[in-house]
Structures are given as structure tokens and as C-alpha cells.
Amino acid sequence: MMENVNDQEMAVTKGSSDGEPYLGMEFESEEAAKVFYDAYATHMGFIMRVDAFRRSMRDGKVVWRRLVCNKEGFRKLRPRRSENRKPRAVTREGCKAMIVVKKEKTGKWVVTRFVKEHNHPLVAIPANGRRSVLLSQTPVAQDTGPSVNYDEKDVKIRELTAELQRERKRSAAYQEQLEMVLRDMENHSHHLSRNIDDIVQSVKQIEAKRIAASHC
């Protein structure tokens, strides 16, 4: 089921550029691989999309994952409902850029395939916030009209994606704090329950002694 390696595949080694994936690169988990490639995508100027996966025949867990450029593949053509509606912008252009990670017996996730080149312009957001367009190594026909709006739309998507990631991190921090509070409340409740049980037992003992003394 694995795709054939084509001429675009980059068999880079550990001596490649800093921050760039390479064959054999290891991650502690699938999520770590996703975070790395998403950060790489942000740096290079494209948007990552989580794509196909395969599960283990033994326990059903994911053991193979493909992470691609969001312009991978082509959109299926559907009949327009109304002639007055504007056609949707083209967001998939058959881009082949991707990495494939596979879970090894050691538990590590290893990069088994890396395709670097994109067939479309890359849109990066510099640290100073200014917008710029970085062209990929593959020649792309330039269009002075709609491409400007297209690039700006891409930048907006990236900005919203970055904001969503920040919100997710903030939400995870709040959830962790909430879980700590709940654990403290549970421990406190357990402590109170033990104290109440001790008091009840003490009252019972006192009552038993009182009854025994009255019969004497």
C-alpha cells in the first residue's frame, strides 16, 4: 500500500538544514511528529494537513501517518447550485509535499518519507508581522490578478490557525489547573469523610459507655 518513491522525494540526512525533516528522524510520539511538521510548515510558508493513517492489525492503534501540504490532491468537481454564486477559490493544486512517519517496535515514530518541493507559491509570515511571498523551488506561473487575493487569503488562514493553536494551548492549561483543583477537592472531601467517620465512632463509643454505666 505504500506509494512508490518518485523523483521529488528528498532523501536528506542529519546533515541537512536545521529544522528540516530527514529520513530516519525520530519522535517520541505521533503528536510530536505533528507538532514538528506543523512548525516546519509555518516556517516554510504552507499549512499542514493531517492525512491518511494505518492501524495495527493487532490492537487497532495508529502506527503509520501521512502529513501533507493543505494543497495536496484536487477538489472533486460538483455541479453548481446557482449560476449567480461565485465559484469557490481553488485550494488544492495537487501538491506532493509531505512526510510519512511510522511507529517502530521501539515505540519511536520515524520519518520514512519526506517530499520537500511544493508546486505552488509559499506564503510566510515574518517575525515583524509584514506579509511576504516566498516562491517554492518548483517554477510556478505568476498571475498579477487573483493571486494577490489568494495569497492574502492564505496568510489569513495561517493567522487563524496560529490563533487556534494558542487557544488550544490556553485551554489545555486551564484544563490542567481545573483537574488539579478537582483533585484537591477530592482529597479534601476524603479527609473530611474520614474525620466525620472518626467523630461518629467516638459518639457511638461514648453512647455505649453511657448506657453501660446506667445499667451498673
3-state secondary structure the chain: CCCCCCCCECCCCCCCCCCCCCCCCEECCHHHHHHHHHHHHHHHCCCEEEEEEEECCCCCCEEEEEEEECCCCCCCCCCCCCCCCCCCCCCCCCCCCEEEEEECCCCCEEEEEEECCCCCCEEECCCCCCCEEECCCCCCCCCCCHHHHHHHHHHHHHHHHHHHHHHHHHHHHHHHHHHHHHHHHHHHHHHHHHHHHHHHHHHHHHHHHHHHHHHC
pLDDT digits (tens, 9 = 90+) for 7-51: 333 433 343 445 899 999 999 999 999 999 999 998 888 989 998
pLDDT digits (tens, 9 = 90+) for 58-73: 999 999 999 999 888 7
d(CA 121, CA 96): 13
Strands 132-134 and 62-69: unpaired
If you average pLDDT over each of 53-57, 93-97, 127-131, which comes out highest? 53-57
Q: What is the pTM of this model?
A: 0.48
In the beta sheet, which residues pair with residue 9? 115
The confidence score (pLDDT) of residue 128 equals 45
Whether residue 135 is predicted with pLDDT greater than 60 in this model: the reply is: no
d(CA 112, CA 149): 36
Q: Give the residue from 91, 107, 124 showing the smallest Cα distance to 33.
A: 107
